[in-house]
Structure 1
């Protein structure tokens, strides 16, 4: 599998951004916090699923609220696919075959098959690492690498490894050589004590002996039956092991058919490929150099800004100075109007109220109606006085007094409400201040209109000044940011004078530079033609046209060799006899049915064994009844019971230990014994990385040691420098990926992992990544990329493509 493009919709700091990936080596560079590790986490998330809150990891929630997720465009089985995973909690997986232009029906199953037998854990342990992983080299043991290789190379090995470890632990709980507290150890000690007591009290008992003979016969029958059980169980186990190898046998058959269909491809040597790539790089480099020299030559022939009219530009700047003075005068008028408006608005606690009408002003001026008040009083007094002489007339006067008083009260209440409404709108002014400010309020709309006129005039003046200044700056291709117009005008005047002097000096040097560049172009063109002739001669050997065809044919030959090697490896895992046996079955189901039949036979033989054991128990019970009062027979029975218990427990112990060993041996054979191959390749990589200082890696007593080539002195991990330890870790990681290359190919992800390397070490590892890891795609994230070819670099602060 190779990654061809990364398309992020929303993930961490990245949103709607795409990255193209080189098929061999892709370098992502950028400073800290530029999103390098975010891209690496996105790749792992699309392939194996995004992180969850339960894992207490960075969730990489999009910062701008974009939809969570994105896509990877990959190459697999000579076709292009787009893997799209959207959503973190309710994830939607979609896979499209871009070559066939159709959607994959079962995306989860398809992706699982492409990644098989990798899990997220094994992917991180082999193909994905950073600086923190390099620091963990001291904790690695041979068992860690063995388990990784078994997980990749043997079908279902993870469960079998766990079963083997559990069996070994269960056996250790029953017996240990130097222990006195384990069950079997205690039973053996008790047995020896009882046996000594029995021997001291031994007597010749005929009845006991006769019965003992029967017991011995039964024991012999039990042993024979145990052998039958063992034989039946062995047949069952052998068939079960064949069942575990059936998938490998099926792969072997499919691979044989595939190889038979393919045409033989001529083998291209690695040296020729490297030479062709080197010549191609030199040709591109020389052509780029010639183009640069020609471009520079054209520039020297036509000096920059030679057609500028400096006098016209100076006159324009002086005119702009006059416009700036007019602009400042308008600003001062604006400030005066704003001050007048703010003086009016400052007198009110809330919004500025509208101007009062003439009626509202009269209400504030005159107050309530005193005549109506006096009339009410007169009616009241006359009514009270007339009550003595004429009660009816007095009642009429009193009614008039009450009516006029009520009308007065209603009128006065309405009048007061209107005044309160005016006071509230003009708060905190009193009635006299309200009347005094009416003239200012009438002028406020005129002030607002003048302010708008000033604003528009200022905007137009500012825009005109900026446009003319920008025109001058564009003419001389120089821009100054965040400067006042007066300062900017002076800077531009100085720049014009400086430019005029520089152009005069530049014209004097142009002729000299032109001759030098012409000589350089002629020399590079001669070298370029020689390199082209060498490349053409090399390609002609293989009857090819260009380097791309050579690489395609080289890749095809490598794949053919890998398939042949895979065929050899599969043949080494399954013997000819096993293949003959497996070929008798139509499919895996038929083999499973035969195993079920053998399992039933094992159960039948075990039932017969149980019957014999019950018969033995009955004979022993009869023997105990014959001598129930005899101390000797009691001791004899106790010894027999203890012996039986020891044999049963020790049988269980041996079964557990032997089963654990059988699983280890079977898995080691099934995984093609890859560990020695991995160790050999890691030694080769480590020797290259250390400039041939170390020539051997040793796993000794759960420790990793390395040997110096010149002195043959071995050093432990703790004795090495930080850089050497990290080089060893890189060699082991790359060797792991190399030895499983025939099973699965995945990109190697390296996140800024060589910060402790000096210049020489860093050059060695980068050279190995580019030339030694044949056919392996590498994605490398770093803060600096000066040692890489620019075509392999993606600068995250510049070279970002928005989707």
Structure 2
């Protein structure tokens, strides 16, 4: 078995804490008060049970009221189990579940632990520094006992049987005991033997006394017999005296005439009465509800008027949705009319007129566009003719560039040629080059001007004709109030104005139709003028009518529901009355059969029946207290005083007989005291008889003691034989461990019957008491390790070590830790220590550091 996880709910200082445990070697490090020992005790407590109230300091109850207990997760035979132990009787409540959380019988833990109980676990698998001193008291018998408990099948039961036989034998005899039965009898036999030798001259007197005491015994027996008879008679008369009041009650008791009323009749009548009471209650309840509904369902004048004119209101209700839409539409139309009227006014204001003509037809617009296009085209031609003439005049005032070039050449030559004639000729040429172009252009201009004037006159005539046509168009289309340039641009406004007039006319027509419908609606509503005023605005009127109809419709639905409820209640009331009549008939039939007139008569009859039953029960109870014979005897007495007189006489006889017995008993006692005194001194025959009886008792006790001892010896030998092969292996393992711990100084352990000794490498032997404290502790650790390792094939449990090596030097600590690591390959080891050097010896994942919280 190996522990995988520790989970503590509440145990000592630990609350709500869990630890994962390495399956081989787990180091639990922490300084003093860190909780190492508490954790150790938690493990053993879950495995074997919590300490009881007699061991309160071992209970580790949590101080802060946390839940007491926790659980261990273990692996045994490749199966994972969770052992949960909580507060409870007999060591706490144990629950075992498997890896899937399914419950497992608590016997599973017994199978896992095998023969190991808490005591044996502490002796083999769990030790601390305080346990190391046990080596000084450890013997071969102790080791063999531990070995037998683990090594043999069913050894725990056999060892228990050995203890029972030894205990029984010790109760019979102990060599130095005083209380065992055989010890007491042997002591008595020794004293009795001495008395036999002293019993001689007192024997004859003793025989006379025996005769006298016999005579007194006979007389005492006779008087006691007489007293017994008188006392029996007295007790009988006392019993009669005790029963006399009961007899008088029984005698005076009278029985009421039995009424022929069975339990079934009573049950049936009471059930019918209960049903009738319930039915009456239901009838009254329905009647009250019916009256309330009838009262609350009265129609008001307004509601009655609505119901009387339901068809007319239904017709109005059908008109309301469409008419409401029309009224809403009319409001929007009024807004639209204002918008359209404002738009018309803006157009009139734009052109500064009071009215606008009708928009021309499309063909007239086309004609206008053609005339204006012709006018623009002719005007453009006229402008084109006038512009070239202006440009020509401007151009003619300028001298061509070639004229200036000739003049420049001539001027240059004139300065260069010294000949005057040549200069004159050049001067003439210079003057001609300047003036000749001007003359030529002026002549050409005169010709061009004549042609242009003729063309201009022709175009102007066409332009005038088009202007006349436009003037005619303006008069024909009533556009003469506008500038001619606006004729085309105003057409959009004219069409817009015309469209607005059409839309306004259309809306006005629709408004007139709505007003007609509203007037028709008001006329149809005239019949309800007493309830709905028709003088309000249309929108308010429609809303009021709609509200009136809705309210009355709701009232109608409410009335209909109440009417339905009224009908249901009426039907229920009829059914209740019918059931009530049926129940009354059933009750009347039973009353007739029993000759009962009414409920009051039944109540009286029922009370008489109960009283008769009580009287019968009373007579039966009294009769059960007095037998028929006792009644006969009591009837013989004339009165209570007669019985009292006989009782007093018998009491006097008893007192006289008792006094005589007392006197006889005193005489017998006096003689018996003398006999007893002689017996103490030892009458020979009596003493010899006692001696013979005592010998028989002693022989039987010896036989019983021998039988118990022999049985214990046989069982013990059988267990030793069953586990004898393991003992050498344990010692062999312990030898190796001890040699390692002592650095080969000691190489052999010898386990004697009374004491354990060791042999060093020189062959010298030392008893355990001769060893130093440290060496003795190392010897104990070696034996514990050897025992745990060898027995692991029978039961493999975790080895718990709680700071067990405090007195070891550093070399021994290193050696023992190497042994622990080797052991942990087969047995799980949980090592609790406060030595911080261990932190450097193992990996961090194998260390639980309690100081880190």
Q: For this structure pair, what is the TM-score category when the shorter chain's length is used for normalisation?
A: 0.3 to 0.5
Greater C-alpha Rg: 2
Q: Report the TM-score when normalising by structure 2.
A: 0.38
